Structure 1
């Protein structure tokens, strides 16, 4: 027996389906920090020129007496950690771009009276903020360390480099990054859907890490819980869209500049720019890192033969990163020359 469905009913059903699909692509408004019912603000913050606030945390010696002002610990100096726009206690920025991340860093440094120049360390996703600083505010930099910095598979790269690196990713990662690049308006819907398995990298699943990574990160998280200084849930308290979603669509979008064409900010050798990479890293592939370093010979490139993405948390590595950044010391035990 056949069922006859009136055309207008089909049209109504189609409209409902399309309406639901459209709503799925529209993220909810961000949670307003400090507002009734919103997340409380528990960090010190500075007010930026556009009215937003940027949150930060200080450590080390007092910044008024510190010899160096940067992000690090080993030398007992002043340390500054900050929440990028949309994360933690930093207000979301609906106009966020690569350049705005760099100007946020500059305004924060000025608000805290860092002086004319300061050091920047960008780790993992923070790597693209470090690239932005090199491109947009090079005159303010005393040195930069890019540590397992995130890469964009749609940078202007040779096909063999991008294809090799991209092909090593899990298919779920490739699918997610492809959507972030080609269909950013749908990325929030993809990030929150339940039908297909999500990227192991985005979800922070064990598949995204080496066994050594997992050992290091497990111990690190234990120490963070004991210290009470870090609350992982706080990072995305304003909503996934304003934090993770914006991060990934900016990282994998079309960049406003080509990192491989950045000019040396220290032509007279007065500062150091370095890249630190683990050969076994499953999140940031070594092929692209090597290519970028080859195109920018003024960057010091260091590759650890057995490290993964947890390279900066390995014993002694953080010390070497900071010693090279501040003192120009050559690290020991790492490959500092690119393979021929």
Structure 2
């Protein structure tokens, strides 16, 4: 059972929070906060819940602004996630926690670590984007559709909105292992993406605009240990992003998964939880 509540923030917005500590039976447990990908609702998916339960971990997530019942925040940057997470943790009485994020959730997980250093014990990122100003890499190289959605975001909200109204999914973004994962253990992810998409593109557009703008913090400010997981056959976020992050984060460990793509890399989530648990 997952406890869902709407948290009212200082600026009047609502943040929809999902907490595996139903009835507070895990209140004192090691806690991991999940930063979801783009687009998702923020709901806790079954593979994550099962892995956390097997380890006695309290798992928390929330819908970023514009997703899954959380109020929109147009113009938000990546750093804004830390402000929301700080209020979330205060409301739930959680002093210290680890953070995990996949794909679009990766930058937001790093924001929490950079801006809440006394509270974040460690970070796990699966196929996270690097900042657009990452020196030494061609940021778009290797992306499916040549990163068309992010290129549209560079032109502003209107152009990104127009792109969203006309785009069709490129099936070559995923490899066979991704489709196998979606047909099997990660079927709930496909369902959740569908729910997020049906609710409208606002959260996704705001995510993309934030990714291509200054993030609001340097990644070098992340003092916590960071585990980077990257599928080598990934065509949504190329491996060059993980490599760049591994060289700029002060305490990073990079693990490459040669046979994984965009979805199948999520099968490493239990191993990431083990790594986080060992760094309380």
The bucket for the TM-score relative to the shorter chain is: 0.7 to 0.9
CA distance in 2, matches of 1:122, 1:252: 18
Indicate the residue corresponding to 1:127 in structure 2.
106
Higher relative contact order (CA 8 A, sep 6+): 2
What TM-score, normalized to structure 1?
0.68
Indicate the residue corresponding to 2:43 in structure 1.
none
What TM-score, normalized to structure 2?
0.82
| Equivalent of 2:247 in 294, 306, 311 | 294
| Alpha-carbon offset, residue 155 of structure 1 | 2.0
Contact kept, 8 Å, 1:43 with 1:89, in 2: the verdict is no
1:235 is aligned to 2:213:
no
Q: Deviations over 1:174-199 (max 9, x none)?
A: 33322212334421122213xxxx3x
CA 1:312–1:57: 2 relative to 1, 3 Å:
farther
Contact kept, 8 Å, 2:128 with 2:241, in 1: the verdict is no
CA distance in 1, matches of 2:256, 2:68: 31
| Alpha-carbon offset, residue 295 of structure 1 | 2.6
CA distance in 2, matches of 1:129, 1:263: 12
| Alpha-carbon offset, residue 326 of structure 1 | 1.1
Higher strand share: 2
Q: Which runs of 5 or more structure 2 residues have no equivalent in the other structure?
A: 34-47
Contact kept, 8 Å, 1:181 with 1:249, in 2: the verdict is yes
CA distance in 2, matches of 1:182, 1:250: 12
* 81-90 vs 216-225, which moves further: 216-225
Q: Deviations over 1:68-109 (max 9, x none)?
A: 121451403211121111101111113422222111111111
1:217 is aligned to 2:178:
no
| Alpha-carbon offset, residue 223 of structure 1 | 5.4
CA 1:305–1:141: 2 relative to 1, 3 Å:
same
Indicate the residue corresponding to 1:169 in structure 2.
143
CA 1:63–1:181: 2 relative to 1, 3 Å:
farther
For the aligned residues, what is the CA RMSD?
A: 2.6
CA distance in 2, matches of 1:149, 1:63: 32
| Equivalent of 1:144 in 110, 115, 123 | 123
CA 1:96–1:186: 2 relative to 1, 3 Å:
same
Q: Which runs of 5 or more structure 1 residues have no equivalent in the other structure?
A: 1-41, 266-271, 330-340
CA 1:169–1:123: 2 relative to 1, 3 Å:
closer
CA distance in 2, matches of 1:127, 1:224: 17
Indicate the residue corresponding to 1:49 in structure 2.
10
1:322 is aligned to 2:273:
yes
Indicate the residue corresponding to 2:223 in structure 1.
264
